[in-house]
Amino acid sequence: MPSIKKTCRRPWMTERKPQEGRKHSNTKFYQSTAWRKLRAVKLEQQPLCEECLSKGIHTPAKVADHIVPINRGGAALNIENLQSLCDRCHNIKSAKEGHAR
Ligand SMILES: [Zn+2]
């Protein structure tokens, strides 16, 4: 395990919150209650895929996606950084970002 020495000085990110601020294991984050709640709120506010909507297509959204990915410094728990996407659009976006799953 290489240790990361730079960019560790973040006084607002303390050891008390292990689920937040971890950039390497997003799985934990996606299992957190905070995320599940926010995701549910987002999909309730916007139940249609926003990507499809912009093309005039109404598709039910399945995923609340981070507009700026967490691993690129996007806010993980800010609803402003979320967009509702259908599976298809989410896959396309993930593929573009190089981390399809
Ligand atoms: Zn879509």
- Of residues 97 and 37, more confidently modeled: 37
- Cα of 5 from ligand 1 centre, angstroms: 40
pTM for this entry: 0.70
Span 31-74, pLDDT tens digits: 999 999 999 999 999 999 999 999 999 999 999 999 999 989 99
- Cα of 95 from ligand 1 centre, angstroms: 14
The ranges assigned to domains in the chain are 48-101
User: Could you give the percent of the chain with pLDDT greater than 90?
Assistant: 61
Residue 64: which of 28, 51, 25 has the closest Cα?
51
- Cα of 45 from ligand 1 centre, angstroms: 16
Q: What is the DSSP letter of 94?
A: H
Residue 78: which of 47, 21, 38, 30 has the closest Cα?
38
How would you write 21-90 as a 3-class SS string? CCCCCHHHHHHCHHHHHHHHHHHHHCCECHHHHCCCCCCECCEEEECCCHHHCCCCCCHHHEEEECHHHH
